[in-house]
């Protein structure tokens, strides 16, 4: 069975290091001239998939923007995931789940089990009930060839008070998360399946990412203020594992298919230059 790390490495080699979010929030639907309802959601998601799923390495639907429409929104999310994967894109479902025991196992099954209609190539999770609480997701990901991206250093102002807090051993909470994920990827080639989420706008924090040996998702680029050049300051010698993520910078170019593709090509060229 091919692992997520192997599939991601191949996709980046073939298509380039780019993740594009699918974030159908109300303001963006309005910008596209679409109604803020299920019909607008369906048109938006279908257009993004048609424009980008056959050419970018990763598409990242934000589950919340589908969930807000209830069961009909979830049905569109299922279709979006299926169509994206059929067109060749890897799907990273942005759900940021984090719980304990059987509840975490149920979340993992919902998004990673091979029989689930929401089955994705990878998901985002939150480790702030303890990295060990995520073990059911790690285990199922390993069993099914899926991936996990764990929040580590986020760019929201509130995050630093938790993530930069120092434990009894002198290690920050974020560094302890980084170190535990590094252990899961130890010795894996060409790329581990367990990644981290590290905001592109956080600057130099003194955290060591060198041993992660897995993908480093870098959100916050474009409309959120991050630039490709910021990636060097944040990731340093770990640039080779960075997966830059754009959402509004690309999506705001819609609804034209050609315009969306041109925007994705433009930012891909920018990050290729920055990543060397």
Peptide bond into 155 cis (omega under 30): no
Residues 190, 12 contacting (CB under 8 angstroms): no
Alpha carbon of residue 162 to chain centroid: 21
Given 15, 31, 82, 96, the catalytic residue:
96
How many CB atoms lie under 10 A from the CB of residue 90?
25
60 catalytic? Reply is no
In order of 56, 63, 156, 172, the CA distances from 261 in angstroms are: 9, 23, 29, 40
* DSSP label of 221: B
The runs of H, that is alpha helices, within the chain are 4-15, 26-31, 38-52, 63-67, 70-86, 101-112, 135-144, 160-163, 173-185, 230-235, 248-251, 257-275
Q: Which residues are catalytic?
A: 96
């Amino acid at each position: 069975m091919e692992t997520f790390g192997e599939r991601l490495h191949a996709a980046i080699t073939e298509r380039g290091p780019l993740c594009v979010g699918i974030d159908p929030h109300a303001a963006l639907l309005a910008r596209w001239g679409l109604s803020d309802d299920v019909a607008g959601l369906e048109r938006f998601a279908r257009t993004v998939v048609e424009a980008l799923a056959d050419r970018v390495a990763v598409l990242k639907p934000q589950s919340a923007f589908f969930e807000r429409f209830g069961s009909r929104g979830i049905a569109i999310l299922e279709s979006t995931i299926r169509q994206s994967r059929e067109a060749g894109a890897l799907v990273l479902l942005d759900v940021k789940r984090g719980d304990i025991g059987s509840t975490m196992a149920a979340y993992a099954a919902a998004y990673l089990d091979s029989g689930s209609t929401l089955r994705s190539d990878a998901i985002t999770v939150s480790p702030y009930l303890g990295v060990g609480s995520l073990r059911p997701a790690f285990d199922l990901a390993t069993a099914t060839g899926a991936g996990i991206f764990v929040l580590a250093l986020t760019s929201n102002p509130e995050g630093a008070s938790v993530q930069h807090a120092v434990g009894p051993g002198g290690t920050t909470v974020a560094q302890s998360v980084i170190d535990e994920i590094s252990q899961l990827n130890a010795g894996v080639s060409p790329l581990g399946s367990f990644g981290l989420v590290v905001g592109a706008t956080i600057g130099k924090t003194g955290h060591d990412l060198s041993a992660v040996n897995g993908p480093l998702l870098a959100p916050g680029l474009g409309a959120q203020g991050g630039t490709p050049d910021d990636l060097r300051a944040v990731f340093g010698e770990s640039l080779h594992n960075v997966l830059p993520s754009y959402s509004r910078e690309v999506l705001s170019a819609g609804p034209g298919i050609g315009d969306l593709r041109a925007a994705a090509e433009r930012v891909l060229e920018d990050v290729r230059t920055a990543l060397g």
